Amino acid sequence: MANSDSGESIIARFVRILSAFDDRHQTMSVAELGRRTGLPVTTTYRMVNELLLERLLEREPGGEVHIGTRMWELVSRGSKMVGLREAALPFMEDVQSVVQHATTLGILDSDEVLYIERIGTHSTVVDISKIAGRLPLHATSSGLILLAHSPAAYQDVILARPLTKYTDTTLTEPAVLRRHLADIRQRGFAAMPGVIVPETTGIAVPVFGPDNTAVAALSVIVPRTEEHTAARVPVLMAGARGVSRALGWRGELKGTVRQSQ
């Protein structure tokens, strides 16, 4: 695909470069970037310069580089994420104002939950969901909601894999999980106490798109000591219906998750 010894395409290398940046390393020297990506020095510098030309990367006064404004702009303008986020945000705020704990919006991507948005306090509760962060399907309430509304064939694939047991309440038995999924699908919500972090409980409900598939999961993360699940589910559901309607949803029947890869 490319001229490189390793047989990588430029695009692949570009992804490697982008991947080198995360919330912990949003800016770094080109040399460090080279080390993190494992690319040859010269190649790193050449590519960085090309990317700087297009403003996909930007150079700081000190010489360090970070992901460019242009990059964010192009992606935000053309991506469907922003639309989903914008549709959901007002309702998330409503939910958040009532529940008073972290509220998140997640989608199913590459067999994981990808969190699109999250609002609410950062510190009151131990919670590891962050924007653009990923968590496994079987160990989060959002993941279980998304899985529950997925085609059976897809569920089978996921359940057939080795499932990490994060805490002693994490479900890893395919048969048990399958029963849970049926439950979740029928009741319309997933409440999972401490499946990934012992101290917290996640409660999630599905958000539907126009084609009646579950496109996202709306969830709240509350301390396990004050779950009040029964009281909180209706709030979440109302919010999720609001989001669904904002997305053009009209129906009533339960649907299946739209797969993205």
Partner DNA sequence: ACGGCGATTACCATTGAACGGGAATCACGA
Partner DNA sequence: TCGTGATTCCCGTTCAATGGTAATCGCCGT
How does strand 190-193 pair with strand 200-208?
A: antiparallel
Tell me which H or E stretch contains 208.
strand 200-208
Collect all residues with Cβ–Cβ distance below 8 Å to 215 and sequence separation of at least 6.
84, 107, 207, 208, 209, 247, 257, 258
Indicate whether 5 belongs to the interface with DNA (CB under 7 A): yes
Neighbours of 99 (CB within 10 A): 20
State in angstroms the smallest separation of the CB of 5 from DNA.
4
Q: Comparing C-alpha atoms, which of 109, 77, 100, 105 is closest to residue 89?
A: 105
Which of 4, 100, 212, 256 lies at the binding interface for DNA (CB under 7 A)? 4
Residue 4's binding partner out of DNA, a second copy, none, with CB under 5 to 8 Å set by partner kind: DNA
Largest CA distance in the chain: 60
Neighbours of 27 (CB within 10 A): 15
State in angstroms the smallest separation of the CB of 35 from a second copy.
16
Collect all residues with Cβ–Cβ distance below 8 Å to 72 and sequence separation of at least 6.
none
Indicate whether 66 belongs to the interface with a second copy (CB under 8 A): yes
Indicate whether 77 belongs to the interface with a second copy (CB under 8 A): yes
Which of 36, 81, 154, 238 lies at the binding interface for a second copy (CB under 8 A)? 81
- Of 141-160, binders to a second copy (CB under 8 A) are none
Which of 105, 107, 177, 190 lies at the binding interface for a second copy (CB under 8 A)? 107
**Look-up of token digits 């993360």:** 221
CB closer to DNA, 5 vs 252: 5
How does strand 27-28 pair with strand 134-136?
A: unpaired
Which of 17, 20, 47, 102 lies at the binding interface for DNA (CB under 7 A)? 47
Binding site for a second copy (CB under 8 A): 1, 9-12, 14-15, 18-23, 25-27, 47, 50-51, 53-56, 58, 66-67, 69-83, 86, 89-90, 93, 107, 109-110, 114, 119, 131-134, 260-261
The binding site for DNA (CB under 7 A) comprises: 1-7, 9-10, 13, 29-32, 39-43, 45-47, 49-50, 63-64
